[in-house]
Structure formats: C-alpha cells, structure tokens
A and B are shown apart, each in its own frame.
Chain A
C-alpha cells in the first residue's frame, strides 16, 4: 500500500461519485489491468458483486438499531418518560424501574431485528460464495471463483442451468446464432424461456471467444430497476457503434437454459444489478385500523394529560388547604418545602410517569406479534393452496391483514384474474367467411364436464372426427396418446413448472373445422406444385401468419426443455447419457400412466397396448439416435414433441391452432422460422425484423422473407380497432368491392365474437417492396442504435411500416372463466362489496363475460355509458343520475329495485373522471352495485381506483395478474396479485398473492373477517385494559393528596402489564374465531360487519373506555369502602386491588373470547397461575430488596384473610355485570348477524347446510348458474337511443347469434 495524500483520496472519492452518478458509463475490459493495484483499475468506482442486504453489522448493531427504533414516536415518548424519571424532583418510581418496560420492549424488538438480519446475512453469504467462472488473463482460461469476486468489466462464463451472477452483456453464446435462452423464474416467476441474443458484430472470432481480444468500450446507462429496458452501445476501436438492448442482457438471477455456455461482459454488479434494484423487500403499508389506532392513542394522550392536570391541580389545592406544615409533608434535604404551585408543577410530570401506561406501550409490539400469527395462519390455509402450481397464498405486506376484512370496493382485472388466461382457439374468419369450429366447441363443452363422464365421452369422441381431418397419417396415434397422457398428468399431479402451461389438451388441441380443412386441402393441392397462386392463397397465408407472427419459443415437450433446433451444431453439446436417462424416465412414466388408465377404462387396453408399443419403438429409435435425428433436419421431428412457450397465451393458442391445420412451427431462431406445411414441406423463413407488441400500438408484426417467392412479407396481428384503421387505403382505390366487403364482414364477425366473450385478433399481411425495405431497415438500424428516445424512435419505425395492410382474417380465442368465479363474485357482492371489473377488452366481450361471471344479472338495470364527446357525457351522467336517484327514492320500488350496474368505456371514463364531472360520476358509481369499465388503460385503472378511494373514502382492493394491473394494485389500499400466466409483476407489486381468483373469497370473507375482528377487538381490549388499570392508580390519588403514590408494588405493576395480562390478548388476536369459516363462506353478509367503520370505531372505543372507567371505579371503591377506617396498610390494600384488576381484566377478555380452545384455557389459567406464583414468590423472597416499597409477606397474609376473597369476588362480579348483562340482553333481544352466524355454527353440519341453502334461496341468490354463452339482455333503463351509439341493436338477431344459441342447445343435449 502506498501512502496517498488526503487530497488525492478526496479527489478519488469525488471522481468515483461522479462516475457512479453520470447518466452514461463507459466500461472497458478489466483484463489488460489484471493484477494491477486498485487505483489503476478502470472500473474501480463501480461496486463489486458482493451483496449485502443486512441492515446492521455486529459492531454497529446497537447504535443503528437504537437509531431505527427511536424513529418510532412511541418509543421516543417512553424513553422520554424514563429519562424524566431520573429527575429527582419529578420521579415517581426508583429511576431504574421506570426504564424496565421500555427496555424490555426495545430489547424484544432488537432481538427480532437481529434475528432477521442474521437470516439475511446467512443468505447473503450463501449467495456471495456461489461459484462462477471468470476469465483470467494469467491462466488464459476461465477460472472458478465466487460470485463476490465478480467485478464490472470482467468476462463471466455461464454454463447451462447455472444462475447468472451479475448483469451480463451477452457477447458470445455456444449457439451458432448467438442465442442464449434464459429462464427468469427467480426474477419474476415466468417459466417460459426467453431468448437473448449476443451483441452482433462484436464477437467475430467464432467458434471460440477470446476475451483478451475484446477491446471495445461498453457505454451503458445508469443502473435502473426496469427489468424490461436496457440501453447500451458497444464502441469498437474503429469507432463503429453497435447498439444493444435488453435483448442482449443476461440479468442476475436468471438461469441459463438450452445453451451450453455463454460469455458475458459484466456491466452491472452487486447492488447495481436490475434484480437487486428491484428487490425492495416487503412493503410496508399502514392499515386503516392502525391509522385509527393512532388517533385513539392521541385521545389517550389527551386523557392522560387531563388526568395529570387534575392531579397537579388537586395537589395544589390540597397543599393550600393545609393549615400548617404537617409531619407527613417531607421537606427536601435542606428542610425546605416547595411552594404549592411549584410542587404541583412537578407533580404534573410525576403523574405522567405514574400514569404513563395509559398509553399502551406494549400495544405496538403486540400488534406486530398478532399479525405474524395471523399471517402464519393465512399462509397455512390449505384452501388457499393451489395444487397445480404448488403455491400458497403469499403475504407480502405484513401489516395490513386486517384491511382484508374491511373491503368495500373490489377492482378486478378481467384477463387472467377472472379468466384462466389459458387461451383456447375457438373460431376464425378468413377472407370474410366464418368457420365456426363446431366440433371444437363440442370438445370444449365436453371438457367442461366433471371428470368421470368426461373420460368416457372423451374416449368415444376421439375416434370420430380425427380420421377425417388428420393430414398426417402417422400422426394420429401418438398425438392421441399424448393428448390423454398429458391430460392425465395435469389432473393427477401438478408438476408445477415444466409444462404446466400448455400441457392440457384444452389449449393444445384444436379440432379443425371441416369446411376450412377442405378449403386448405384444396388450396394446397389446387394450383399444382410451386404455383404462385398456392402461395397467394389467403387461407394459407392466414395460417402461415398464425404460425410465424409471434414470439413463441419452440422446445421439446418432455425432455429437459430441449430447444427444438434444426441446426446441426447445437445438439452436439448435449450429454447423450443424460438424454438417454431422461428418455428412459419418460418411457417409464408412460407405462405407468398407461397401467393406471387401464384400471379405469376397460375397452381401450388393446389399442393402448399397441400404441404403447409403437411409442416405445419410437423412443428406442430416439434413444440411440437423438442427435443424428435432429442433425438430419426436420422430418423426423415429431410435432407432438414440440412444446410452444409463449409470453402471451394468445400466441400459443394461435400456434396450436395453426398446427391443427398442419402448419407446424418447428423452430424459431432470431433470424429464421421453420414451418412445416400440411404437405410436409418445410419452409425456412428468414426473419428480418420483429416489431414487438406494445400497448400503444396494440399489435405486433414480423417481417420475413418468403423462401419461395423471395418477397418481403410483413405479417401483423393485433386488436381489431388498431388494425382496421390501418387497412386504410385499399378501400378506396385499387381494391375491389369484394375486399371491402371482406373488411366489413370480418368486422361483423369480430363483433359477434366479442359478444360471445371471445378475444379477437385481426391477422393481416403486407408485401413490402425491396426498396421500401432497404430504406426502412436503415432507419430501423439507426433507431436501434440511438441512445436517446430509443423507444420512441423504434416505435415510430414500426408505425411507419405497419400501413396499408391487407386483411386476411380474424380469430376468436376463448379465455375461459376460472373455476368458481361466478360464485366468488356473487359472494363478494353479497358481502356488500361493490365489484368493478376493469378490462382492456371491447365492451361487448366485457359485457358478456360480465354476465357469465354474474357481475351483471339478467334482472339488473344496466346503464351503458359510451359517448364521444364531453357534452353528451355530461348530459348522460346528469340524466342517469337523476333517473337512478328517482328510482332509488321511489317507495314503490323498495322491494323490487333491481340492482344497478354500469358499463362504461375507456373514452367516456376519461371524460367522466375529469375534475368537473368526477363528483357526479362517483355519485353514480356509488349507487351501482357493479361497474364494468372496458377498454381502459393501465393508467386509467389506477386513476379509477384512486378516484373512488379518495372521493368515497372507502377501502379498496385491486386484484390483477399482469403488468398492466400493477398501477391499480399499488393505488388500492389492498393489492392482490394473481400469480398466473402473465408473469409476476403483479405479484411483485401486490400485498397478497393468490393463485386463483376463487381464493379471494376465503381470503376476504374468512381471513379478512377474522383478522379484522380479532385485531379490532384486541386493540379495543388493549386500550380498555390500560385505562382500567391506570385508573386504579388515579383514583387512589384522591386519597393520598395527589402525590402520585402507587399502592401496588412497582414490580408487580410492571409484571402485571408485561407478563400477567399480555399473552391472553395476543392469543385472542391470533386465535379467536367468532364464526366458523363454513358459515362465513355460506353467509357472506357477515362480512359487512367489518366494512365502513367496522367494529373498531369511535363508539366502540369510547364505550370500552367508559367501561374501563366504570370497572376501575368498582375495582377501586369496593375495596376502599370495605377497608375504610380500618388499619389496612397501603400495600395490603393494593394487593386485593391488583388481584381484582387481574380477574376483571382477564374475565372481561373471557367474555370477549368467542371460542375457547385448549390453548385459550391453558393461557388464561396459566396467566392467573403465573400471577399467584410470581406474587407469592416475590412476597416471600423480597424482604428489603426493593427499598421504598416492601411487599414482604403481604400477599401471603392476604390470602389467609377471608376478606380478600370476599372483596375479590364482589368487585369482579360487580365490575363485569353491566357488560355481561348488556351482551346477554343484546344477544337475546336483537342478536347481531354475527351472533346468528354463531348460532348456525352450533347446528350440526347437515342442518346448517340445509339452512344456508334455504336462506340463500330466500335471498334470491339462487344456485349459481353455469357459465353459458347467452345473449345479454338489453339495458332496461330507458334512455334516449342516440346516447348509446354502441347500442345492442347491431348485434341482435343475426344468424350468428342464433348459431350460438343452437350451439348451446346442442351442448345441453350432449351433456
């Protein structure tokens, strides 16, 4: 180490600061500097890869933790009091004694913090010591080091299935195309593979990569936490610049898959990596109850000050009233007595010390403990466990459990939240012709049925249609077996990850439409081989578009995520042994599955055996020649072995649909797509560019070069409204009327699809001339290399190209409702929650889903708001509001009032939410039972939530599953993420994460109710307890000249709060169960008790405070009157008082406890026993241990005195009599709904179920109907027709909807 001047150090530090803070960073390779001292390292300013998530270090733990703890106002208050106790003129206890409570509390908290921090330290250590390969110049190879040794500027090699140690710029991949696949499950839970591409043009020295020859500079942006965005450019020595984006970044925490090895340049390390920047730990929110609680603590503070003032004033008056200096007035050491005014001033503070526990010091700690317990029970609920994904409910925010019990407004996303987000191809329209796919619909209907029947129908069914449509003769049996096998698998075991997403035949199998199939066959064979007309046929183009225009990654179905690849290089890297064993396993499991199946179905074994044989044969072939097989190219690749992994399930559904028609997507690399045509021919399209999806354009395109025609073809698919306007010019000019009709017909079909609740997509094609392409690609390249506004520029280029599209057709994809969604929504509504559904879908789709999930009811009054300008919007709003008000006020409608629902679209919503209209809108929305917002953007979603939350001052809950719901989830009081198909962004942002929408019911109705009731009652009880106890001391002041005397020994007083009466309320907060889960779920109305003000409100708080006053009066004055004029001494008087207080306080709790389990008994009796044991022991041992007070033998003598028992009994009875009687009277005369619920609990289960059923029937709920696609009834509210441009009239009465109805009929018959 050389000595450095302080100036140099400062300069160094400043330089480092500047380097870290600058917008752009220039990084160079570390290798030329290897072995040099630190000061010479170019990247020395950037943090190393060692992570430290601990808050404390062993040395600094105490000061830091204390600092943290003193951030809590309450702690500061109590420490202040303890310090006050050290001032001689005002102290109330021995100074040290005053420190005990706060010390105990702070020690507990510190212990908890230390333990948590230690856990973090351990996991940090584990992570930092994980092995990785870093290139070393000295060794001329990659050497194994640890994660913490990775520095910015290093070259790191990651091999297959290894976790990426830092954010790496991908420079080289073993894949010849420079592709590397990663799985980001650790980061966001998405299990599909993502493709990353090496920065092009940097790594030239294939096949190997020489890190030493890397002499470029990497310029990248300042680290940020956006996982989907990265800007960087690589400056070559010749000043040539290559842009790189997130596509070339391997994020820390991802796992490399399907790639033998990859080499990356470390751009961000340690805490600067995107995953670490995203790791904000658990969220901390203040719950409504806690906010209320703080107000009440403030009330207590006022109460405390009042009592202290009374004490000070009393002391003053008492001193003034003394005629002389009595012997009991003790002067100070100089024999001097303070003036009454000064003495009473001191007394004020002494009183604060004496009465300090009026502010419940242990309340905050207790609440934390209770919440830990509550979360334990929530996460352990087996009903909230999802077998398929093997996931429990996650509580990410630890302190808002009770908010779950107070929800009044539920905002829900539709896709993926109410629906499965498992897309099923339903029907399509090509060139204006509709292909209804009836067989497919029947198949789906059959799949809907319960398992037992389904199995049979399934088997009957599979024989009939297949033979006719299948174009690949050899494909039948394997695909059948796969179908059943995987189906069985998905039912039996939820093998979570690997292929859960698309293994079930529901999504993967599509039965082609006969007519369309014929069309295609005709087109295929039509114009002879290699005829240009064949390639021009729109039907073929349509399916090609389906197969190509996506970002689906193709992998092998059963092997270890083996990416299907036609290139000869990649497969060399695989270990043949591993492949062999996996195949064996596969075969084994196959046989197992078969045998299982044989038990259930007896007809099939013969064929099955045959199939198994053939299958095994094939396996055998594969075993010995897996690699040659893939080397040889396409033909032997079995399509059913392929597994499509898509970021969006729609895409996969479309690819599966294309596959059903013989257009099989075989492989995808960044530069090419391989598709097998129905004829068996394989086409390799060169992918020139992919214009990825974004929510502004609402479409994505792929630009390919057709291998046969050599045309540049742009396939675009997207939302109908974003596509239709881009068709633009063809209408007017050279396109014939036929095509114009195509657009109109397609639009008509789209509308019908939407009405059926299908998701629609338009598929278009555009042939781009070579010259256009050349100029465009130049621009595109520039845009991609741009450092500023890169996104905007890229998007601009995309928009430039996506014009003048030719419509090929449209698809309808069904997104099926999740199980029990209608029931859940019904339950939420019955529980008094307003349910809002916010969706980006078209109004028609949304309304239909709304009916299907019983958000809207047929007898509902549905207000449809959709208007183009603000003026109409205002008038509609006024008009409907007036109408609704009148309707609500009309007494004749009281019984028959249908519920009002509102359907509003995005544009109108924007207008309605403008400052001048939002009052009216909110007023209207308040009166609506459910609201359906369509075509809303993520920002609008959060806007709506915020508006309702702020204007109506209600508790809101937002539930969603996708990135588009993140805003909404964060805006709501309680955010719930559904961990579904769309990654984990929503879960990351949420407070609670569930796996199915139906779990919401139990989470809210049961756990929410319990948590809230428990905590509310516990908090009220805590206030009561402290007030009751402290008041005993206060009343005594009237008899001791207001000199802050405590008639209870200090230690016993402290123990009383810390030990004798602290556990039962905590237990109460964790365990109490007012109504059983079954009844809470059966009678959702019970949830209403927690809404709005709930059980913990102004009234209940003050009633309990008053009760505390009453009880303390009784507990004090009965012993006082009994001992009046006797020779009782102070502590002898205090002993029955303390005992009475204990019994009263515990029995008060006993009245509150609704259900007594063994734990309750143990804790309650244990507390009493503890009191007696500790007090007896303390009184027996302590002769002079505690100088001013002396409890010696007092408790023993009291326990030998019958008076003690007489007093204890009487006081306890009298103290609790009013509350007890009040409860009994109230429960008998006007039982609360909760009590009625408890009465239900006492019935035996069968009677109870019967009763609930009857009661539900009486309520008009009726049994929840199955999800049927039926026509939504027209709005019943009469409003001028021109206010509703999207009136239902358009959709009514056409043959297509008739078609739907007949289809329903068929389905009914079929079942």
Chain B
C-alpha cells in the first residue's frame, strides 16, 4: 500500500540529512536587545525629526481661507427659504465678503465644502450605476437596480444619471470678485476645467456614443434626477463640451467623499492675466453665491475654501506635527533603552541563573 518506495535496502526509511528537512537552514536571527536596536532607534528618531521639520516648514508656506456661508450675512435669508421644499424652484443668491491679508502665492484652489453630509453611507454610495456613466447605451435606458429608488421615474422612464449620489448633487454656484484697493471690481477668473482625475474624465465617465446626434437627442427618453433643475446635457450652459456625464462638477461630486465633512474642488485660479499672475493678491473679495443646496435636513453647513497646496496636499498641520511627536517619542524610548542598557546589560549577555 502507500507510495512506492524510492529507496530500498536496510536504511530505506532513513530521512534525508538535508538542511531543509533537518530544519538547519542557515538563518538570520535578530536579537531584539537594547544594544542592537539603539542605533536604529536614534536613526529613526532623527529621520522623523528632519522629515517633520521639513513638512512643517512646507506647510507654513501655504495659505488657506475658509468661509462658512451657511447662514452668513444675507445668506441666512436663503437658508430660511431653502427650509421649505416648495421653494425649490425659486432661485436665491447672496453675497459673502471677506479679505485676505497676505497674497496667496502660486496656484490657488477654490473648494466648496460640506459638513455633516454623509456621502459615505453604504446605501448611498452604492446608489449609482458606473456602467451608465461610462456611456453604455443599455444602462442608459435601463439603469442598474443599485440606483433604486432613483432608477426610473413613473412609467419606467430611466433616470440619467441614476442613483442617489447624482440626485443629491451639490448645485450652489459661486462667482469670486476681487475688490481692488482702487475700488474696482475685478472678477477672479476660475478655471472650471481640469478639476478631475484624467482617468475619471476620459475612462470612467463617458457620454454615450453620439453618432452625430446632439447630447439632447442621446439623452432623449431619460429624465434627470428628481432633485435636478436641468437635464444632464445642460449642466454647463457656457461650455457645451462640459455636458452630459463628463461634466466636471458631476464627476467631482460622484467621487464620494470619505468623511461627512469634506470639500470638493470647484475651480482653480486662472493665473493668465494680471493681477492674478502670482496668485491671489491681498485685499477684499466677495463671493456671489447662487444658494440652492439645502442643508438643514442634516444639520449641514456649507463653506468655501481658498487654499494653496504643497507637494503633499493641502494645508494640514497634522502630518508634520505627527512626525515631530513620533520623533520625540522614539527619542524618549531610545533614552529609556539607553538607560536600561547602561544599567542592566551593557555586555548584552546578562545571563545570571
């Protein structure tokens, strides 16, 4: 029975005397004792320290301006108005004024921010049809069941883009104006393009094949999401190419935020013309807001954020501080270990039985 024996003879069953079978493979066995790891600790501490300082210096050079406009000034009126669903059709606009003390150097990014808006609820984030937004005709006409209940409207008319995510799209719009010292109002040019990842714009979000049809014809037989005022092919009145599923605001919105407090890119300062070639000059600004998005249902707040970025992201002091704290922690540990090493086992072999 059993397997055929390869060997025969008196010692047929003798195991191979190989390093592997006898568990004698050459091995490196590190000793976790103070004297071996101390250099590593000090080194790590120094590295973290240097990195922390560098990051801190970098972060110090960034500038950020946050404006919560939920009930700010005359926006309060709009807030009150949006309390009532029946007013959804009416427009409301308000103005927020602010000033910046130091010039925002370099590229300036204009974000809108939401607080307490949970884009990360499981049912919410599932409620979309990527196959529809990637431009498949089939899914355009019959969206995925994940979009329920924003899959179809009455009489089985499909919604495009379907799902709760698209339905709840942020629809405030902003116009930033620079009030020069001379009292002149200069509209700040914002690039409303290039806000998305390249792959999003070109691969993940595609309009259905048009075949010489206009967008409106392609989307014929579909309805916009219930909360929307205008159909998806008319999202951007200024730029016809920026319509349909490849509308940048839509794409930005569709990338669901990880946390309930988040910001999303609205525009980038166009530094082509003076006085914005170096960034945002210091002075007084105002933002004209078309106040559409209701937030009172979820204790929400809305804000706009103007910021410059560093090579590792926005103005975030956490990372540099974390690095510095870690560095000092490691240093502390290292000192403790040094003491231990000094007192207990300088030779590394304190084996007293």
Q: Which residue of chain A lies nearest to B334 when distances are taken between CB atoms in the complex?
A: A1221
A1043 contacts B123, CB within 8 Å?
yes
Is A531 at the interface (CB under 8 A from chain B)? no
- Which A270-309 residues have C-beta < 8 A from chain B? none
- Contact at A1039–B260, with CB atoms within 8 Å? yes
Does B349 touch A at the CB level, under 8 Å? yes
Known: A1210-B326, A1224-B34, A1225-B336. A1128 touches B258 (CB 8 A): yes
Given B120, B131, B337, which contacts A1221 in the complex, CB threshold below 8 Å?
B337
Q: If the complex has contacts A382-B14, A1156-B30, are A1221 and B333 also in contact, measured as CB distance less than 8 A?
A: yes
Bound-complex Cα distance A1156 to B48 (A): 28
Q: Are A328 and B31 in contact, with the CB atoms below 8 A?
A: no
Q: What 1/0 mask marks residues of chain A from 1133 to 1148 whose CB sits below 8 Å from any chain B CB?
A: 1100000000000000
A1193-1222 contacts to B (CB < 8 Å):
1193, 1197, 1201-1203, 1206-1207, 1210, 1213-1214, 1217, 1220-1221
Q: How far is the CB of A1191 from chain B (nearest CB, A)?
A: 11
A358 to chain B, nearest CB (A): 19
Contact partner, B297, options A325, A1041, A1159, Cβ 8 Å: A325
Question: Given A324-B297, A377-B23, A1224-B32, do A1130 and B120 touch, yes or no (CB 8 Å)?
Answer: yes
CA of A1200 to CA of B30 in the docked complex: distance in angstroms? 34
B238 part of interface (Cβ distance < 8 Å):
no
* Chain B residue contacts of A1123, Cβ below 8 A: 258-259
CB neighbours of B39 from chain A (8 A): none
B270 contacts which chain A residues (CB < 8 A)? none
Name the distance in Å between B235's Cβ and chain A's nearest Cβ: 18
**B31 and A1124 contact, CB distance less than 8 A:** no
B148→A1184 contact, CB < 8 A: no
Residues from chain B with a CB closer than 8 A to the CB of A350 are 122
Query: Please, which residues of chain B bring their CB within 8 A of the CB of A208?
Result: none
Among residues of A, the one whose C-beta sits closest to the C-beta of B144 is A1187
Whether a CB of chain B sits under 8 angstroms from the CB of A329 is: yes
* A324, B296: Cα distance in complex, Å: 8
How many Å lie between the Cα of A323 and that of B344 in the bound state? 62
Q: Determine whether A392 belongs to the interface, using a CB cutoff of 8 Å to chain B.
A: yes
Quick check: which of B91-99, B208-216, B313-321 contacts chain A, the rest being far away? Answer: B313-321
Closest chain A residue, CB of each to CB of B322: A1210
- Does A606 reach chain B (CB closer than 8 Å)? no
Tell me the complex Cα distance, A1213–B52, Å. Answer: 14
- The answer to whether B239 has its CB under 8 Å from any CB of chain A is no
B231 interface residue (CB < 8 Å to A): no
A1044 within 8 A of B: yes
- Residue B249 lies at the interface, judged by CB distance under 8 Å to chain A: no
Contact B15 A1228, beta carbon cutoff 8 Å: no
> Known: A1127-B257, A1129-B255. Contact between A329 and B121, CB under 8 A?
yes
Q: How far is the CA of A1010 from the CA of B255 in the complex (A)?
A: 51
Cα distance A1126–B317 in the bound complex, in angstroms? 12
Which of A491-499, A675-683, A904-912 lies at the interface with chain B?
A491-499
With A1183-B134, A1228-B33, A1255-B353 given, is the CB distance from A327 to B227 under 8 Å? yes
Task: Decide yes or no: A334 and B312 within 8 Å by CB, A1124-B318, A1206-B319, A1224-B34 being known contacts.
Answer: no
Cβ-defined contact, A392 with B15, below 8 A: yes
Which stretch (A436-444, A1233-1241, A1299-1307) binds chain B? A1233-1241
B127 contacts A322, C-beta separation under 8 Å: no
Q: Does B176 contact A (CB under 8 A)?
A: no
**Which residue of chain A lies nearest to B314 when distances are taken between CB atoms in the complex?**
A1126
Q: B residues within 8 A CB of A1223?
A: 32
User: Is A1242 interfacial (CB-CB < 8 Å)?
Assistant: yes
**B351 interfacial contact with A, CB 8 Å:** yes
Query: How far does the alpha carbon of A1122 sit from the alpha carbon of B258 in the complex, in Å?
Result: 12
Distance, CA A1227 to CA B348, complexed state (A): 9
Quick one: which of A391, A392, A1123, A1134 has the most chain B CB within 10 A?
Answer: A1123
CB of A385 within 8 Å of the partner chain:
yes
Q: Is there an interface contact between A1184 and B120, defined as CB atoms closer than 8 Å?
A: no
Tell whether A705 is near chain B: CB-to-CB under 8 Å: no
Query: Is A10 close to B, CB under 8 A?
Result: no
Asked if B124 lies at the interface with its beta carbon under 8 angstroms from chain A, I say: yes
Contacting residue for B131 out of A324, A1122, A1184, A1241, CB 8 A: A1184
Give the residue of B28, B261, B322 whose beta carbon is less than 8 angstroms from that of A1124. Answer: B261
Scan residues 226-276 of chain A and give those whose CB is less than 8 A from a CB of chain B: none
Of the 9-residue stretches B100-108, B184-192, B196-204, which lies at the interface with chain A?
B196-204
Interface membership of B264, Cβ < 8 A = yes
Q: Which residues of A contact B199 (CB under 8 A)?
A: 1192-1193, 1197
Complex Cα distance A380/B21, Å?
6
Q: What's the least CB distance linking A1307 to chain B, in Å? A: 33
A322 near B256 with CB under 8 A, answer no
Pair B319/A1040 contact, Cβ less than 8 Å: no
The CA-CA distance from A1231 to B34 in the complex, in Å, is 11
Q: A562 at the A/B interface (Cβ < 8 Å)? A: no
A333 beta carbon closer than 8 Å to chain B? yes
**Complex contact A1127–B22 (CB within 8 A):** no
> Of the candidates B111, B134, B149, B341, which one forms a contact with A330 in the assembled complex, judged by CB atoms under 8 Å apart?
B149
Which of A387, A390, A1039, A1229 touches B259 (beta carbons < 8 Å)?
A1039
The residue in chain B whose Cβ has the minimal distance to the Cβ of A321 is: B299
| Contact assessment for B120 and A1217 in the assembled complex, using a CB-CB cutoff below 8 Å | no
Q: Are the C-beta atoms of B197 and A1228 separated by less than 8 Å?
A: no
Candidate in B55, B129, B318 with the most chain A CB atoms within 10 angstroms:
B318
CA distance A641 to B99 in the complex (A): 118
- Selected from A1077, A1127, A1158, the residue in CB contact (under 8 A) with B264 is A1127
Interface string of A380-397 (1 = CB under 8 A from B): 111001010011100000
Within the complex, what minimum Cβ distance (angstroms) separates A255 from chain B?
14
Given the known interface contacts A322-B298, A380-B21, A1043-B121, the answer about A1122 and B319 at a Cβ–Cβ threshold of 8 Å is yes
* A:367-408 near B, CB below 8 Å: 377, 379-382, 385, 387, 390-392
Binary flags per residue of B11-55, CB closer than 8 Å to A gives 1, else 0: 111111100011101111111111101000000100010010001
CB–CB A1041/B340 < 8 A: no
CB atoms of A1047 and B258 under 8 A apart: yes
Output the nearest chain B residue to A1251 by Cβ-Cβ distance.
B351
Interface of chain B residues 164 through 182 with chain A (CB within 8 A): 164, 167-168
Q: Which of chain A's residues have a CB closer than 8 A to the CB of B48?
A: 1210, 1213
Interfacial residues of chain B within 276-325, with CB under 8 A of chain A in the complex: 296-300, 311-314, 316, 318-319, 322-323
With an 8 A cutoff between CB atoms, is A1157 at the interface? Answer: yes
Q: Is A1118 an interface residue (CB 8 A)?
A: yes
Q: How far is the CB of B58 from chain A (nearest CB, A)?
A: 11
B27 and A331 within 8 A (CB): no
- How far does the alpha carbon of A1071 sit from the alpha carbon of B27 in the complex, in Å? 11
Task: Report the minimal beta-carbon distance from B45 to chain A, rounded to whole angstroms.
Answer: 10
- A residues near B, CB below 8 A? 92, 123, 126-127, 321-335, 350, 377, 379-382, 385, 387, 390-392, 493-496, 1010, 1039-1041, 1043-1047, 1071, 1073, 1077, 1118, 1120-1130, 1132-1134, 1151, 1154-1160, 1183-1184, 1187-1188, 1190, 1192-1193, 1197, 1201-1203, 1206-1207, 1210, 1213-1214, 1217, 1220-1221, 1223-1225, 1227-1229, 1231, 1235-1236, 1238-1239, 1241-1242, 1255, 1258-1259
Q: List 17 A-B contacts (CB under 8 A).
A: A321-B299, A328-B298, A330-B121, A350-B122, A382-B14, A1043-B122, A1124-B261, A1126-B314, A1134-B258, A1155-B28, A1156-B27, A1156-B30, A1197-B199, A1214-B322, A1227-B31, A1227-B34, A1235-B31
| Interface set of B (CB-CB < 8 Å, partner A) | 1-2, 10-17, 21-23, 25-35, 37, 44, 48, 51, 55, 111, 113, 117-131, 134, 144, 146, 148-149, 151, 164, 167-168, 197, 199, 203-204, 227, 255-265, 296-300, 311-314, 316, 318-319, 322-323, 326, 329-330, 333, 336-337, 340-341, 344-345, 348-351, 353
Additional 11 contacts, C-beta under 8 A, given A333-B149, A1127-B262, A1206-B323: A329-B124, A377-B21, A385-B13, A391-B13, A392-B15, A1039-B258, A1040-B260, A1045-B125, A1126-B262, A1130-B258, A1188-B126
Q: List the 6 closest A-B pairs by CB distance, nearest first.
A: A324-B297, A327-B168, A326-B298, A1133-B258, A1155-B27, A1188-B126
